[in-house]
Amino acid sequence: MNSVESAIQSRMSVRAFTKEPISREIVTKLLNLSARAPSGTNTQPWKAYVLEGALLQDLCQQVCSTYDSIAKNPELEKEYQPNYDYYPGKWFSPYIDRRRENGWSLYGLLGIAKGEKEKMHAQHRKNFEFFGAPVGIFFTIDKELGRGSMLDYGMFLQNFMIAARGEGLHTCPQAAWNSYSKIILPFVGAGDHEMLVCGMALGHADKSDIVNTFHTPRVSAEEFTTWLGV
Ligand SMILES: Cc1cc2nc3c(=O)[nH]c(=O)nc-3n(C[C@H](O)[C@H](O)[C@H](O)COP(=O)(O)O)c2cc1C
Q: Is 176 in the pocket of ligand 1 (CB under 6 A)?
A: yes
Which numbered atom of ligand 1 lies nearest the CA of 214? Answer: 26
* Residue ranges of the chain whose pLDDT lies below 70: none
Q: Coil, strand, or helix at residue 115?
A: coil
Q: Sign of dihedral through CA atoms 10, 156, 84, 131? A: positive
pTM given for the model: 0.97
Of 14, 32, 33, residue with least CA distance to 134? 14
Residues in the chain: 230
pLDDT tens digits for 111-156?
A: 999 999 999 999 999 999 999 999 999 999 999 999 999 999 999 9
Q: Is 199 in the pocket of ligand 1 (CB under 6 A)?
A: no
Which numbered atom of ligand 1 lies nearest the CA of 176? Answer: 8
Superfamily of domain covering 3-224: NADH Oxidase (3.40.109.10)
Burial 86-117 (b: 16+ CB within 10 A, else e): eeeeeeeeeeeeeeeeeeeebbeebebeeeee
pLDDT tens digits for 81-96?
A: 999 999 999 999 999 9
